[in-house]
Amino acid sequence: MSPRTQKFASAGLIVSVFVLWELICLAFGISELILPRPTQIVGAFLEYAPAIRPHAWQTLYTTMVGFFFGVLIGLSLGVLIGSSKLAYDTCYPLLVGISSIPKVAVVPIFVLWFGAGTVPAILTAMIICIFPIVVNVSTGIATVEPELEDVMRSLKASKWEILWNVGLPRSLPYFFASLKVAITLSFVGSVIAETVASNKGVGNMMLIASSSFNVPLVFSGLMVLATMGISLYAIFAFVERRMAGWAMRKDL
């Protein structure tokens, strides 16, 4: 299949899923309290748009701030760990340990420390996205071909020169690939934190809507989240292609 027909097929599949959903709900007379139809969801979205907007901004804000600090910390840790075998071997078990804690479980602790609201959401978004960045960046740096490293060392290059000329550029594709994953995770983190402990954000809005049985609004919250998540992913996928195209063998 050519890439063009492939794209058409993907779009067609998405559209037909929604059409099928609509038809099944109509055919079986499914109550909107159980599963609202796509048209009802869009209707609810349009109706509540002014109310949804501040929540959406709040979610986007906490996600981006958390993501920003997560990238900063993840990148520095990754460079540090990747450029020293000793640090790599020493820190890795700890990192794996930390990463295997379900991040949802730390939200109550953040709430305990900082109170409910924006801060726990930002922290959750941050902490959830650090690990994939650290792993990717450190792997990129630590897996420089031994032969290339020998060439550099035989030129008496310092550790710093090897890192700057070889390690860092080499880890760039890994870094940008991890950003794609990290932004999606951040988003998950902030929504979870909002759902558990906040009075703002799309997660919180969905919680309130469901407790008042406004199911179409719950689903339009989901729609907003899906749209934001997909857009953020697309943005970073684009950035990845632009910044590290050489790794995909495209001309820059």
236 HSE (CA, 13 A, CB side): 21
What is the C-alpha to C-alpha distance for residues 32 and 176, in angstroms, rounded to an integer? 41
The SS3 assignment for 198 reads: coil
Tell whether residue 153 is a contact of another protein (CB under 8 A): yes
If one asks whether residue 160 binds another protein (CB under 8 A), the answer comes out as: no
* Shortest CB 92 distance to another protein, Å: 23
Q: Which residues contact 54 (CB under 8 A, 6 or more apart)?
A: 200
Nearer to another protein, 54 or 245 (CB): 245
Q: Using CA atoms, how far apart are residues 205 and 209, in angstroms rounded to an integer?
A: 6
Q: Which of 49, 53, 145, 199 binds another protein (CB under 8 A)?
A: 145
> 13, 86, 147, 211: which one contacts another protein (CB under 8 A)?
147
Task: Write down the least CB distance from residue 172 to another protein, Å.
Answer: 8
Applying CB under 8 A, the span of 97-105, 150-158, 214-222, 228-236 interacting with another protein comes to 150-158
Q: How far apart are CA 219 and CA 187, in angstroms?
A: 17
Contact 37, 22 (CB under 8 A): yes
Token couple for 24: 């099944």
Site string for another protein, 233-252 (x = CB under 8 A): -------------xx-x-x-
Going residue by residue from 179 to 218, which x/- string records binding to another protein, judged by CB under 8 A?
----------------------------------------
DSSP letter at 252 equals -
Interaction between residue 4 and another protein (CB under 8 A): no
Q: Quick check: 175 and 75 in contact, CB under 8 A?
A: yes
Contacts to another protein by CB under 8 A: 145, 147-148, 150-157, 161, 165-166, 169-170, 172, 246-247, 249, 251
